[in-house]
């Protein structure tokens, strides 16, 4: 497996090794010891799977307390995946990083606790899977507006966009109390 450390501390792009022949390919997408050696020390406690149509934008979501680290990947389709540093005191606070994940590149994106996360579906549909380091806690969850100008994410929006009411009306980062952010 190949690990690339990204420009925001803690973010990692992971390329699991694929073993293929005329039948197709096989990839080991999680093995605790190997990922710990690669610097992902958290334990994962929950797996989620989402299917979304073209144009769906989910996020930007975070939890505090019970911040979730996430190991995300796309099993079918293509998404633009984004992490935003919401760790109070971090030198990269409010900065974002985006990656394209799809069924062909097989990449995984590790987003540590303290980051908001979201993605935009670029294909007809996407089957999106992710492991989390803490369970979902509805009372701890909050959202940041997907198009907050203080963050400035360059989403590759192409055509119609589909948002939940929660994501459409999420507050701007400046309107969220700092107590909601994880300490760095």
One of 35, 61, 97, 110 is an active-site residue; which one?
61
Mean pLDDT of 5-17: 95
- In this predicted structure, the answer to whether residue 178 has a pLDDT above a threshold of 90 is no
* Domain CATH number, residue 163: 2.60.120.10
Mean predicted lDDT score pLDDT of the chain: 95
One of 97, 120, 130, 136 is an active-site residue; which one?
130
56-98: pLDDT as tens digits? 999 999 999 999 999 999 999 999 999 999 999 999 999 999 9
Query: Residue 130 catalytic?
Result: yes
Looking at the domain assignment, is residue 27 inside a domain?
A: no
Mean pLDDT of 13-25: 92
Range of the domain at 77: 2-18+39-173
Split into its structural domains, the chain has a count of 1
145-164: pLDDT as tens digits? 999 999 999 999 999 999 99
Looking at the domain assignment, is residue 181 inside a domain?
A: no
The DSSP code sequence of the chain is: -EEEE-SSTT-EEEE--EEEETTEEEE----HHHHHHTT--SPP-EEEEEEEETTBEEEEEEESSS---EEEEEEESEEEEEEEE-EET-TTTT-EEEEEEETTT--EEEE-TTEEEEEEE-SSEEEEEEEESS---TTTEEE--TT-TTT-------S--B--HHHHTPPPGGGS-GGGSEE-
Q: What is the pLDDT of residue 78?
A: 98
Looking at the domain assignment, is residue 139 inside a domain?
A: yes
Mean pLDDT of 8-30: 92
Q: Residue 143: which pLDDT band, with cuts at 50, 70 and 90? A: very high
Query: Residue 97 catalytic?
Result: no
% of the chain beyond a pLDDT of 90: 90
């Amino acid at each position: 497996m190949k690990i690339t450390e990204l420009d925001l501390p803690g973010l990692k792009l992971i390329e699991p090794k694929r073993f293929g022949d005329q039948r197709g390919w096989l990839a080991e997408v999680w093995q605790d010891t190997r990922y710990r050696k690669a610097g992902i020390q958290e334990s994962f406690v929950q797996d989620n799977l989402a299917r979304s149509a073209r144009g769906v934008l989910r996020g930007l979501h975070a939890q505090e307390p019970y911040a979730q680290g996430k190991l995300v990947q796309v099993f079918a389709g293509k998404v633009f995946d984004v992490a935003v540093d919401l760790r109070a005191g971090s030198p990269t606070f409010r900065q974002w990083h985006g990656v394209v994940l799809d069924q062909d590149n097989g990449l995984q994106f590790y987003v540590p606790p303290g980051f908001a996360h979201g993605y935009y579906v670029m294909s007809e549909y996407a089957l999106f899977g992710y492991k989390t380091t803490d369970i979902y806690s509805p009372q701890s969850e909050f959202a940041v507006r997907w198009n907050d100008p203080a963050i400035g994410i360059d989403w590759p929006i192409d055509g119609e966009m589909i948002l939940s009411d929660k994501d459409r009306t999420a507050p701007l980062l400046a309107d969220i109390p700092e107590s909601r952010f994880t300490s760095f």
